[in-house]
Amino acid sequence: MESTRNDLIELLEKNKDDYVSGQELSRQLNISRTAVWKHMKELEKDGYMIEAVSRKGYRITQFPSKLSPNTIQWGLHTNWIGKKIIHREQVDSTQIIANQLAREGAEHGTIVIADEQTAGKGRMSRPWHSAKGKGIWMSIVLRPNMMPQHAPQLTLLTATVLAECIDHYMGVRPSIKWPNDIFIHGKKTAGILTEMQAEQDRIQYVVLGIGINVNQDEHDIPPELRSIATSVKQETNQEWDLRESIQHILSGFEVSYEHYMANGFAHIKQTWEKYGYRIGETVTVETLQRTWQTVIVGIAEDGALLIKEEDGNVDKLYSAEIQW
Q: Which is nearer to ligand BTN, 128 or 257 (CB)?
A: 128
Closest-CA residue to 112 (of 78, 88, 131): 88
Q: How far is the CB of 95 from ligand BTN (least distance, A)?
A: 4
Closest by Cα among 87, 52, 55 to 68 = 87
Q: How far is the CB of 165 from ligand BTN (least distance, A)?
A: 16
Q: Which of 101, 154, 193, 300 binds ligand BTN (CB under 6 A)?
A: 193
What is the distance between the alpha carbons of residues 198 and 166, in angstroms, rounded to a whole number? 31
Nearest approach in angstroms of CB 120 to ligand BTN is 4
Region class of 319: left (phi > 0), else alpha (psi between -120 and 50), else beta: beta
Among 120, 152, 174, 179, binds ligand BTN (CB under 6 A): 120
> d(Cα 277, Cα 186) in Å, to the nearest integer?
9
Nearest to 189 by CA among 129, 262, 267, 265: 129
Backbone angles phi, psi at 110, to 5 degrees: -65, 140
235 binding ligand BTN? (CB under 6 A): no
Among 181, 183, 189, 265, binds ligand BTN (CB under 6 A): 181
Q: Is 139 in the site for ligand BTN (CB under 6 A)?
A: yes
Among 67, 76, 192, 221, binds ligand BTN (CB under 6 A): 192
Total residues contacting ligand BTN by CB under 6 A comes to: 21
Binding test (CB under 6 A) with ligand BTN, winner from 209, 276, 298, 303: 209
State in angstroms the smallest separation of the CB of 268 from ligand BTN: 19
Which amino acid type is present at position 165?
C
Q: Is 149 annotated as a binding residue?
A: no
* One character per residue 43-82, x = contact with ligand BTN (rule: CB under 6 A): ----------------------------------------
Report the residue number, 160 or 294, with the smaller CB distance to ligand BTN.
Answer: 160
Cα dist from 131 to 126, 178, 217, 221, 244, whole Å: 16, 25, 11, 9, 19
- The minimum distance between CB 38 and ligand BTN, in angstroms, equals 37
Q: How far apart are CA 131 and CA 319, in angstroms?
A: 30
Q: Binding site annotation covers 132?
A: no
Among 43, 138, 184, 242, binds ligand BTN (CB under 6 A): 138
Residues numbered 81-100 forming contacts with ligand BTN, rule: CB under 6 A: 93-95
Nearer to ligand BTN, 94 or 215 (CB): 94
In this chain, which residue has its C-beta nearest to ligand BTN? 191
Residues 6 or more apart from 202 whose CB is under 8 A from it?
Answer: 147, 148
Per CB under 6 A, does 123 bind ligand BTN? yes
Using omega within 30 degrees of 0 as the cis cutoff, is the peptide bond preceding 127 cis? no
Smallest gap from residue 270 Cβ to ligand BTN (A): 23
User: Toward ligand BTN, which CB reaches closer, 57 or 209?
Assistant: 209
Choose between 12 and 246: whose C-beta lies nearer to ligand BTN.
246
Annotated binding site for biotin: 117, 188
Which residue ranges make up the site for ligand BTN (CB under 6 A)? Answer: 93-95, 117, 120-123, 126, 128, 130, 137-139, 181, 191-193, 209-211
